Amino acid sequence: MSIFTSLQSKIYNLTPKTTQLPAFLDKNERKKLIAADDSYHLIQDGYFPHIATNLLISPNQKFLLAAGSYPHQIRLFDLDNSTMKFQRNQNCETVAMEFLGADWRKFALVLDDKSVEIHSQKGKMFGARVPKPARSIAFDVHEATLNIAGSSSDIYRLDLFKGCFKTSFNLQTEFVNQLVYQQNLELLLAAHQTGVSFIDTRTDKVAGFLPTQVQACSVCSDRNKVVVGLQNGEMLTYDVRSSVPLLKTLCGSHPVKQLQFTEYLNTKYLIQADLRQLRVYEEDKLKFYIEPGTGIYKFQKFENSGLFALACEDQFLNMFYAPDLGPAPSWAKDLDEQVLQLDVQQSAGEFANYKFCTRQELEALGLANLCETGQVITYMHGFYIPKDLYKKQSGKQNLDEIKERKREEAEKIKEKKSKPRADDRFNE
pLDDT tens, residue by residue, 379-394 = 767 777 777 777 777 7
Q: Is the pLDDT of residue 405 over 80?
A: no
What pLDDT was estimated at residue 20? 61
| CA quadruple 360, 361, 363, 364: dihedral sign | positive
Percent of the chain with pLDDT over 70: 86
Mean pLDDT, residues 126-149 taken together: 91
Lowest mean pLDDT: which of 76-85, 137-146, 324-333, 405-414?
Answer: 405-414
Q: Which residue, 145, 152, 147, is CA-closest to 192?
A: 152
pLDDT recorded at residue 297:
92
**pLDDT value, residue 401:** 63
- Confidence band for 412, pLDDT divided at 50, 70 and 90: confident
Where are the strands (E) in 130-182, listed by range? 134-140, 145-150, 154-159, 164-165, 169-170, 176-182
For residue 374, pLDDT beyond 70: no
Mean of per-residue pLDDT scores for the chain: 83
Q: What is the pLDDT of residues 317-371, one digit of tens each?
A: 899 999 889 888 888 877 877 777 777 666 666 566 777 788 778 777 777 777 7
Which of 115-129, 204-218, 375-389: highest mean pLDDT? 115-129
The answer to whether 299 and 258 are in contact (CB under 8 A) is yes
CA pair distance 302, 331, nearest whole angstrom: 11
pLDDT for 174-193, tens place per residue? 889 999 998 888 889 998 98
Residue type, 329: P
pLDDT band for 426, please (50, 70, 90 cuts): very low
Q: What digits encode the pLDDT tens for the residues 8-55?
A: 888 888 887 666 666 677 777 766 766 666 567 788 878 888 889 999
**Tell me, what's the pLDDT at 215?**
83
Contacts 24+ apart (CB under 8 A), 246-251: 247/284, 249/281, 249/284, 251/279
Task: Determine phi and psi for 360, rounding to 5 degrees.
Answer: -65, -40
Cα angle: 64, vertex 67, 70; to 5 degrees:
145
Q: Is the peptide bond before 281 cis (omega within 30 degrees of 0)?
A: no
pLDDT interval class at 213 (50, 70, 90):
confident
**CA separation for the pair 74, 48 (Å, rounded):** 9
Q: What is the CATH number of domain 137-244?
A: 2.130.10.10
